[in-house]
Chain A
Amino acid sequence: MKMLTKDPLNLIIVGVGGQGNVMISSLIGRAFITEGYFVTIGETYGASQRGGSVMSHVRISKESQYSPLIPNGRADIILGMEPVETLRILQQFGNPDVITITNSKLVHAIGIEYPDLDDVVEAIKKLSAKLWLINATDEALKLGSAIFANTILIGALIGSGILPLDKESLDPILRESFPEEKLEANMLAFNKGMELVSRG
């Protein structure tokens, strides 16, 4: 069985309110619980539907229950659903070893001049040991809805091989997480995500 590369392993999932942070973190968390790990997830609710920045801290350990907040500079993996939010989290929680997977689709904020995507990506690259930049939203739209971007990102996270989880361990969790009529599209989305990172 694959092992954690670090204990605890600190994963931050970040996005904009309404994107589906809680869905991703709880799905990943349950996969680890099934494998006998301690999992702690700290979420910021409040802004969950309303366009604010939202993040989930996921902490995985074989040893003990960790606190729901990751100390500054101690993220191991950042899974971003929006590039500006990814950069914001890297700035506070990043370190020379942090691995970043991020959606490239900008979600604009009200009343604010939005930065240039290339600048943002360049800054993310500078602060990441490794970066996977994924156009999850466009791929999701091809599957029929932007919401599938979440499952694509989960696929990318698993496909990257940085967690001791594989498609087989995720399969039952995916099956219990989605209603019958959404399952097939989500499975396609998951595979799409895996495929996108396998291309490097």
Chain B
Amino acid sequence: MAGIDIDAPGTTELFIGNEAIARGALEAGIGFAAAYPGTPSTEIMESLASVAKKMNFYAEWSVNEKVAFETAAGASFAGIRAITAMKQNGVNVISDFLANLVVSGIGAGLVLVSCDDPSAISSSNEQDTRNIAKWLDIPLLEPGTFQEAKDMTKWAFDLAEELDTICMIRSVTRIAHARGNVTLGELPRKEHKAHFDEIASFTPTLTKFAPVLSAWKHQQLHAKLDKAQEIFEPSPFNWYRGPDKAELLIITCGSCWLYSLEAVNALKLESKVGILKLGTIWPLPQKLIEKHLSKSQKILVVEEIDPFLEGSIKELVADLPPASPHPTFYGKRSGHINAFGELNPDMVIEAIARIMDITYESRPAEYSKKAEEVPLTYMPPRLMTFCSGCPHRATFWAIKNALRLDGRDGFVTGDIGCYSMALGPAGFCQVRTMYCMGAGAGIASGLGKLGQFGFKQPVLAVCGDSTFFHATIPALINGIYNQSNFTLIILDNNATAMTGFQPHPGTGMTAMEEPTKVVSMDTLCASLGVPVEVCDPFDLKNTTETLLKAMSKDGIKVVIMRRECELVRARREKKPLYKVHVDPDKCLGEACGCDRLCTRVFGCLGLEWDKEAGKAKIDETVCAGCGVCADICPQGAIIKEAV
């Protein structure tokens, strides 16, 4: 299977959008790539890291997005083209540095890729990062196809250097994680040479790389944007498809280009509806848009998440002379397009049909009726849960029992990772707050200071190992410094598991698969002068007792739950820990009184309720063999045997 570094210009590969972006960076001759994983952006860095050695550039997983961005800026300042990529939440993390970097300008080409997640499919929110480009005066591109994802990324480096400012690419899940045709270009093979002084001189004494004289530089930044607009006006990333005069003009960008095209074709309105597809999103190509606004009295803006184009185009229209066209706008504000969630071809079909007053039938009514008659009980919903053998299931089982035994109405403040699923039945609904990276410990630090107001509930803050390094450490130190009360539970599964097992400072491995120093969270926490306990979550008894003991003490305590991610372990060892089966003579089924504790409450996918036998059984195709369920069965009917 071809990697992103295949040296075959002109051939066509099937790439996900993220690989296409990575390929574009290769074709631009990057020397430096840094990121923190986050769905749907992760594969950009993953695919870059996989070829970095071969292609003679540097790639790293950084400790968090802000540090990743700063390292990339460092490379840019020393004349090396650099890229950083992140999910939308990551853009919040980098925003302080970003807001100051735009003031100074850059060294070599520096590109920020933000992958938004409409419908928050794998996210806590669905914020639209196009807004930050407008907010902070950043030139912004958005690809509408996989080919464009590659071509735009390559061009963004040239653009950044021409304008002397960072350029941003916004992608969305349906580009980032969808696959499509990408025809490859040339791979440059130049030697990278880094030196800071050569490009740092702004005046003989003052460095360029600091936000000083900022009001003046803000004015300069506006001039850079004016220049960007001039460059964007004739850009091949913007195009119009449709009749010279249209009954309806669609203005769209990103993944919505393909939805709009499909919708117009499905309704057979090619001769009546035109589509203006924009790829240069900020600053807008004003003259191009003005030219096309005269094509129709009706404009439908099709875009995902916020009405960014809609609002910005209306601003343009407001500035036009009175004699200019002032068409009627349809979109999120009119309610024709959802102002939340991701779009799809059907939603665009519906919007167009409503405006054009036509009807659309996706399939014969008779078939639809038949389909709707299928009882819903035939299609029970599937809840996401922890993988079979996941250490988190065992951890939250111990947490649930420890909190109950403690009896003071204690609770868990959660964080971002696989364990966020403990908001639901996967983790017995134990997590009671969940916001952003590091927030669990921060919130706990505040709650733990409420003793003077009568607050007596024990607080358990959970975070993953990667999250610990990303953003939990400052909150932990804050709690210690301010003498708060909480127990920090670090779920150390030795990987950034949620995004695909990327290494982090605690794993002893780099993105380029080189061994490195392990940053020990045990030593780090102990050096802060707080008690640190390490548990194996599969040992439910000891884990529960350790948690109870920690909760009984005042101050900050750290409990590390150490057990490798089962998917990583299984991939390496290729065999289960235990062979597990249910002894049908011991399992009492409904008569037990446990109310199906194993299948209904513990809820591991490897446990199955055998309806006919009225007893539990193990699904051997799913069971990972962790053996934890053997310790929860009140009858000892689940048997684990060493493999």
Contact = CB atoms under 8 A, between A and B. Distances in A.
Size bin of chain A's contact surface: 35 or more
A40 interface: yes
A69 B605 contact: no
Interface stretch (B155-163, B177-185, B438-446, B451-459): B177-185
A89 B633 CA distance: 37
A72 B347 CA distance: 10
Nearest to A44: B121
Contact of A53 (B174, B179, B371, B382): B382
Contacts, number: 179
24 contacts: A26-B14, A39-B179, A41-B14, A42-B178, A46-B39, A46-B384, A51-B387, A66-B262, A67-B174, A67-B345, A68-B174, A68-B179, A71-B344, A71-B346, A71-B362, A87-B374, A87-B379, A95-B364, A110-B426, A110-B603, A111-B425, A111-B600, A127-B371, A141-B621
B259 interface: yes
A158 B96 CA distance: 53
Given A45-B177, A71-B346, A95-B363, A84 B379 contact: yes
B122 A46 contact: yes
Contacts of A96: 363-364, 367
A127 B622 CA distance: 30
Interface string B475-518: 00000000000000000000000000000000000000000000
Interface string B381-393: 1111111000000
B421 A50 contact: yes
B379 A50 contact: no
Contacts of B377: 113, 115
Which of B367, B377, B379 has the most chain A CB atoms inside 10 A of its CB?
Answer: B379
A26 B19 CA distance: 13
Nearest to A91: B371
A33 to B, nearest CB: 5
A88 B378 CA distance: 9
Given A51-B384, A120-B378, A72 B346 contact: yes
Contacts of A141: 621
B639 interface: no
A71 B263 CA distance: 9
A16 interface: yes
A50 B174 contact: no
B184 to A, nearest CB: 12
B12 interface: yes
A195 to B, nearest CB: 22
A119 to B, nearest CB: 6
A160 to B, nearest CB: 22
A90 interface: yes
B409 interface: no
A69 B259 contact: yes
Nearest to B120: A46
B370 A49 contact: no
Contact of A112 (B362, B372, B381): B381
Contact of B180 (A30, A39, A74): A39
A47 interface: yes
A199 interface: no
B258 interface: yes
Interface residues of B, number: 64
B229 to A, nearest CB: 28
A40 B261 CA distance: 14
- In the A-B complex, the 4 residue pairs with the smallest Cβ-Cβ separation, listed nearest first, are A73-B363, A67-B258, A73-B362, A68-B178
A177 B266 CA distance: 36
B642 interface: no
Interface in A56-115: 65-74, 84, 87-88, 90-92, 94-96, 105, 107-115
B128 interface: no
B387 A18 contact: yes
A4 interface: no
Interface string A13-50: 00011100000011001100100001111111111011
B346 A109 contact: no
Interface of A: 16-18, 25-26, 29-30, 33, 38-47, 49-53, 65-74, 84, 87-88, 90-92, 94-96, 105, 107-115, 119-120, 123, 126-127, 137, 141, 146, 176-177
Interface string B257-298: 011011000100000000000000000000000000000000
B126 interface: no
B349 interface: yes
A90 B382 CA distance: 17
Contact of B179 (A29, A105, A108): A29
A5 B608 CA distance: 42
Contacts of B619: 108
B20 to A, nearest CB: 12
A109 B621 contact: no
B14 A65 contact: no
Interface string B173-211: 110011111000000000000000000000000000000
B145 interface: yes
A74 B425 CA distance: 35
B567 to A, nearest CB: 6
Contacts of A137: 621
A29 to B, nearest CB: 5
Given A38-B181, A47-B384, A107-B622, A127 B364 contact: no
Given A40-B179, A46-B122, A112 B363 contact: no
B14 A33 contact: yes
A57 B473 CA distance: 42
Given A46-B39, A50-B387, A68 B255 contact: yes
Contacts of B262: 66-67, 71
Contacts of B145: 65
A25 B372 CA distance: 28
B81 to A, nearest CB: 28
A114 B425 CA distance: 18
Interface string B1-19: 1000000000011100000
B448 interface: no
B40 interface: yes
A71 B265 CA distance: 12
A88 B258 CA distance: 25
B530 to A, nearest CB: 33
B178 A127 contact: no
A72 B259 CA distance: 13
Most chain-B CB neighbours within 10 Å: which of A68, A94, A95, A111?
Answer: A68
A18 B349 CA distance: 33
